Amino acid sequence: MKIAIMGAMPEEIEPILSHLESYEKVDFAKNSYYKGKYKSLDVVVAYSKIGKVFSTLTATTMLEMFACDMLLFTGVAGAVNPELKIGDLIVATKLAQHDLDITIFGHPHGFVPGGSVYVQSDPDLRALAKIVASKLDIQLKEGVIATGDQFIADEEKKNFIASTFGADALEMEGASVAVVCDALGVPFFILRSISDAADMDAGFNFEEFVQSSAKISADFLMKMLDELIERMG
């Protein structure tokens, strides 16, 4: 079992790398991949750079070139659901691309022929996350995550994403990673901790909380790896 662990920004994977005893850096397609071991698990860790295109490239590379057979994403997100506060954790049940729009041809937002508006994440990994959360008494919300190539800092755009996709949180990489994993038949899990509320204060809040929220998400992911190891015997 080889596990891909992905973030979009350095802040999102640095706390993961700090837990690996040793790793080897492999450069491919203008990005760096860190191959190593966490206890008994083989892992490949990388940050993709921001957005759907870079995250598609990195996810595909991790599955095809590094032969990973599971992908776990960790990072931060903007809250759409007002119940979500800075530092809260959300696991994606399903993901959609909020900026994909060929509605002029009668298709729904987020849909292109041959695809689907939503891609579902792996139910077994979500169940594992719930077990870890309950063991550690950590609050973990499940919900819809919407992805697009925009940093959202605007109530009107946020409300459109909420009403069109039923989104609870938004970010810039999850749905593209989901499309890659779904197409290649690899189970995936998308975890995010809230850094801002995608409103007019989002830029300031993001800068203030990106590091602490990224660490909250990464620390939870490490606990999931511990649980996986325990289950593998």
Determine whether 196 is an active site residue.
yes
Category of 192 on φ-ψ map: left (φ > 0), alpha (ψ -120 to 50) or beta: beta
Q: Given candidates 17, 26, 50, 138, which one binds ligand OS5 under the rule CB under 6 A?
A: 50
Q: Does 168 contact ligand OS5 by CB under 6 A? A: no
Residues in the chain, total: 233
How far are the Cα atoms of 63, 85, 200 from residue 152, in angstroms, in the given order?
29, 16, 9
Which residues in 142-161 contact ligand OS5 (CB under 6 A)? 151-153
Closest CA to 118 of 100, 142, 136, 138: 100
Residue from 88, 122, 168, 171 touching ligand OS5 (CB under 6 A): that is: 171
- The answer to whether the CB of 182 falls within 8 A of the CB of 208 is no
The one catalytic residue among 12, 122, 168, 173: 12
**77 is an interface residue for ligand OS5 by CB under 6 A:** yes
204 makes contact with ligand OS5 (CB under 6 A): no
Answer yes or no whether residue 43 interacts with ligand OS5 by CB under 6 A. Answer: no
Pick the binder of ligand OS5 from 10, 37, 136, 183 (CB under 6 A): 10
Q: Cα 17 to chain center, whole Å?
A: 17
Q: Should residue 57 be labelled a site residue for ligand OS5 when binding is judged by CB under 6 A?
A: no
Q: Which of residues 116-135 bind ligand OS5 (CB under 6 A)?
A: none
**Alpha-carbon span 173 to 170, nearest angstrom:** 9
Whose Cβ is closer to ligand OS5: residue 10's or residue 123's? Answer: 10
Q: For residues 95 and 178, is the Cβ–Cβ distance under 8 A? A: yes
Binding status of residue 174 toward ligand OS5 by CB under 6 A: no
Task: Round to whole Å and give the CA distance between 177 and 54.
Answer: 10
Query: Looking at the annotation, which residues are catalytic?
Result: 12, 196
Point out which residues bind ligand OS5 (CB under 6 A): 8-10, 49-50, 76-78, 151-153, 170-173, 195-196, 198, 202, 206
